[in-house]
């Protein structure tokens, strides 16, 4: 049948079972929005307050559901406003398709009004980018974009369409999109080699990254940890892949990881790396990282093998599939026993617990109360900074796809949009964003989006009147030179929230936290809880930049050193 380009875009979204789109209209994308008007029963379109919010919402939708997130924007500043969100998704391997429209084909390359080369701009931060200049290529391009976004190591794909293509017509034939199974590139010899390393180990340690969440490998990971009889740590992106309440779990690894994880990895003789890329925030000094261990790395992306840390052996493949194959063979051998190693790990867990000051209102206390009230079943998004680390440390993530945070890019202002996207994709789940006051200022306009669509999300603002993480560095490493990190203004976040159509609750002491959270959870509307904490609270443990993770220190160490 003959359809316009705009109609083809929407038909292709239906093929991909897209039910939710986040975007903002403008001149060059008007034809697509006109079709959305006619087909509004087929899609939930959420118009965010800013295009960056649309990209973050598509990202949060994708991370929490496992589906491809979709965002739309017009040409020029509309498309460039997506860039930070696209880069965030790229760094954290989030499947997303960003659809933009550009000026008419004859106007391309002439510095026309609101014309930018968005495909060129986003080339380094997308898995692939397309410019569609012929309506006959439109359907096949969109189908390829979705396939690229979701297969292998996921990531964002850009489809830029000239406006005249959305108006022209051509023949369209519907296609059924079949489910795709990951390609198996490894052999039984690879599995046997991995098992040989595992059997030879006396002190194994499992290090879990975001790939375990993406591949849906939680069940296989749990079984693997039991078969190997090994402690388990995770990265910021790996949260929830392994149950945070399991006895074998030792906490996060890296710059703000637990001493148990950091010291354990430094002492292990085999580091089993599952879907993790050895980020600098994890490894610290790579020359001393896991220096006593052989390294077994399993990852879907061959480019990550030996990129930051050299592995003794590696398997390239989908983690869920690889672990399933390893588990089958491990079940047939004598049970592995690392009880002595685990005994030492458990002793370290008691010796080096996470701790905070209990005589005042703190972010860790707020997060622990949230964890108790939600039983770890909420979807938690965060922005970036101290609150992000506290959330990772003190909320016991029991399930995958429940922690949404900007790990690779470290995007301030990410969390609120992501929370909106998560709620749109998970209407039956409680969705909470935890933000610092600095991050909240970046995209607090998205509260208007939450109130417009009556999305009952909870926004917890950790308000210390400073840029907390930057101030922490200034205190520890920059002789307390608090250059531009103190908010000396009169902003009232409760009034801002109410002005944008949300309920607001102010919390200034510990006794108010539980009641505020319960009230917000019961409210059938978006709620902002403005929590006032002291400006000099710090995240511990901490590893100085470039130091070995075995040099992790906490407040007690600082006090003893002084």
pLDDT digits (tens, 9 = 90+) for 83-125: 999 999 999 999 999 999 999 999 999 999 999 999 999 999 9
At 350 the pLDDT is 98
CA distance linking residue 504 with residue 305, whole number of Å: 48
Residue pair 135/170 in contact by the 8 Å Cβ criterion: yes
Write down the catalytic residue from 11, 51, 220, 446. 51
Instruction: Report CA dihedral (119, 121, 124, 126) to the nearest 10 degrees.
Output: -40
Across 430-465, b (16+ Cβ under 10 Å) vs e yields bbbbbbbbbbbbbbbbbbbbbbebebbbbbbbbbbb
Residue 409 in tokens: 């890019």
Write down the catalytic residue from 15, 39, 114, 144. 114
Residue pair 427/403 in contact by the 8 Å Cβ criterion: no
Answering whether pTM is above 0.95, one says yes
**What residue ranges do the domains of the chain occupy?**
2-171, 188-351, 363-540
Write down the catalytic residue from 14, 113, 202, 331. 113
Q: What residues pair up with 252 in beta bridges, in sequence order?
A: 234
Residue 400 in tokens: 């995958």
Write down the catalytic residue from 127, 163, 248, 423. 163
Characterize the bridge pairing of strands 96-102 and 156-162: parallel
Which residues are CB-neighbours of 553 under 8 A, at least 6 positions away?
540, 541, 542, 543, 561
Q: Among this protein's residues, is 474 annotated catalytic?
A: no
Q: Can 188-351 and 363-540 be said to share one CATH topology?
A: yes
Residue 468 in tokens: 């907390």
Average pLDDT over residues 32-49: 97
Q: Among this protein's residues, is 263 annotated catalytic?
A: no
Residues 417-460: pLDDT tens digits?
999 999 999 999 999 999 999 999 999 999 999 999 999 999 99
Q: Angle between the 363-374 and 386-394 helix axes, to the nearest 10 degrees? A: 40
CA distance linking residue 122 with residue 301, whole number of Å: 21
Q: Residue 400: name the closest of 384, 428, 429, 377 by CA.
A: 377
Residue pair 487/419 in contact by the 8 Å Cβ criterion: no
What value does the mean pLDDT of the chain take? 97
At 488 the pLDDT is 85
Average pLDDT over residues 454-482: 97
Residues 187-239: pLDDT tens digits?
999 999 999 999 999 999 999 999 999 999 999 999 999 999 999 999 999 99
Q: Among this protein's residues, is 114 annotated catalytic?
A: yes
Write down the catalytic residue from 96, 255, 469, 542. 469
80: how many CB neighbours lie within 10 A of its CB? 17
At 183 the pLDDT is 86
Residues 268-287: pLDDT tens digits?
999 999 999 999 999 999 99
CA distance linking residue 367 with residue 372, whole number of Å: 9
Residues 293-340: pLDDT tens digits?
999 999 999 999 999 999 999 999 999 999 999 999 999 999 999 999
Give the CA radius of gyration of the chain.
24
Indicate the pLDDT class of residue 263, thresholds 50, 70 and 90.
very high
CATH code: domain 2-171 is 3.40.50.970
Indicate the pLDDT class of residue 561, thresholds 50, 70 and 90.
confident
Q: Among this protein's residues, is 459 annotated catalytic?
A: no
CATH domain 363-540 topology:
Rossmann fold (3.40.50)
CA distance linking residue 341 with residue 60, whole number of Å: 38
Task: Collect contacts of 173-178 with beta carbons under 8 A, ≥24 apart.
Answer: 173/1, 174/11, 174/15, 175/15, 175/139, 175/143, 176/15, 177/15, 177/16, 177/17, 177/143, 177/146
Average pLDDT over residues 61-76: 98
Q: Which CATH superfamily is domain 188-351 in?
A: TPP-binding domain (3.40.50.1220)
At 308 the pLDDT is 96
Coil vs helix vs strand at 486: strand
Residue pair 479/471 in contact by the 8 Å Cβ criterion: no
Which residues are CB-neighbours of 143 under 8 A, at least 6 positions away?
12, 15, 16, 175, 177
Q: Among this protein's residues, is 237 annotated catalytic?
A: no
Beta sheet of 156-162, edge-to-edge order: 44-47, 20-23, 69-73, 96-102, 156-162, 128-132
């Amino acid at each position: 049948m003959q359809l316009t380009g705009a109609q083809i875009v929407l038909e292709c979204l239906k093929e991909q079972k897209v039910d939710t789109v986040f975007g903002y209209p403008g001149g060059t994308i008007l034809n697509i929005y006109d079709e959305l008007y006619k087909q509004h029963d087929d899609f939930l379109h959420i118009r965010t307050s800013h295009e960056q919010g649309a990209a973050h919402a598509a990202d949060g939708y994708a991370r929490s559901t496992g589906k491809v997130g979709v965002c739309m924007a017009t040409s020029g500043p509309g498309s460039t406003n997506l860039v930070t969100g696209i880069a965030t998704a790229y760094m954290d391997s989030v499947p997303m398709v960003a659809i933009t429209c550009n000026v008419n084909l004859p106007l391309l390359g002439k510095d026309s009004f609101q014309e930018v080369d968005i495909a060129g701009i986003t080339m380094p931060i997308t898995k692939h980018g397309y410019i569609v200049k012929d309506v006959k290529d439109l359907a096949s391009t969109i189908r390829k974009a979705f396939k690229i976004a979701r297969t292998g190591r996921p990531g964002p794909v850009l489809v830029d369409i000239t406006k005249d293509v959305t108006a022209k017509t051509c023949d369209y034939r519907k296609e059924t999109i079949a489910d795709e199974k990951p390609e198996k590139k490894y052999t039984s010899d690879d599995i046997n080699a991995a098992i040989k390393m595992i059997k030879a180990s006396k002190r194994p340690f499992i290090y879990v990254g975001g790939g375990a969440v993406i591949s849906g490998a939680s069940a296989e990971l749990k079984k693997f940890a039991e078969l190997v009889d090994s402690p388990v740590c995770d990265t910021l992106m790996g949260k929830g892949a392994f149950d945070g309440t399991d006895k074998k779990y030792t906490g996060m690894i890296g710059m703000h990881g637990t001493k148990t994880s950091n010291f354990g990895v430094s002492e292990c003789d085999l580091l089993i790396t599952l879907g993790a890329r050895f980020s600098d925030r994890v490894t610290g000094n790579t020359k001393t990282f896991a220096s006593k261990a052989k390294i077994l790395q399993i990852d879907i992306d061959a480019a990550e093998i030996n990129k930051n840390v050299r592995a003794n052996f590696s398997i390239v493949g989908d983690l869920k599939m690889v672990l399933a194959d390893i588990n089958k063979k491990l079940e047939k051998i004598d049970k592995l026993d690392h009880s002595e190693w685990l005994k030492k790990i458990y002793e370290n867990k008691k010796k080096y617990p996470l701790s905070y000051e209990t005589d005042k209102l703190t972010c860790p206390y707020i997060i622990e109360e949230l964890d108790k009230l939600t039983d770890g079943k909420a979807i938690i998004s965060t922005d970036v900074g101290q609150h992000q680390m506290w959330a990772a440390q003190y909320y016991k993530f029991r399930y995958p796809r429940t922690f949404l945070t900007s790990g690779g890019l470290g995007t301030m202002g990410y969390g609120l949009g992501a929370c909106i996207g998560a709620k749109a994709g998970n209407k039956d789940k409680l969705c909470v964003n935890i933000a610092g006051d600095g991050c909240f200022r970046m995209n607090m306009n998205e509260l208007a989006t939450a109130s417009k669509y009556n999305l009952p999300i909870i926004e917890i603002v950790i308000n210390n009147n400073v840029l907390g993480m930057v101030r922490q560095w200034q205190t520890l490493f920059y002789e307390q030179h608090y250059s531009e990190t103190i908010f000396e203004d009169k902003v009232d976040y409760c009034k801002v929230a109410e002005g944008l159509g949300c309920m607001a609750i102010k919390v200034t002491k510990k006794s108010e936290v539980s009641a505020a959270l319960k009230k917000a959870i019961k409210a059938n509307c978006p709620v902002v809880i403005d929590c006032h904490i002291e400006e000099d609270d710090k995240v511990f443990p901490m590893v100085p930049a470039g130091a070995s993770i075995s040099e992790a220190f906490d407040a007690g160490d600082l006090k003893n050193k002084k």
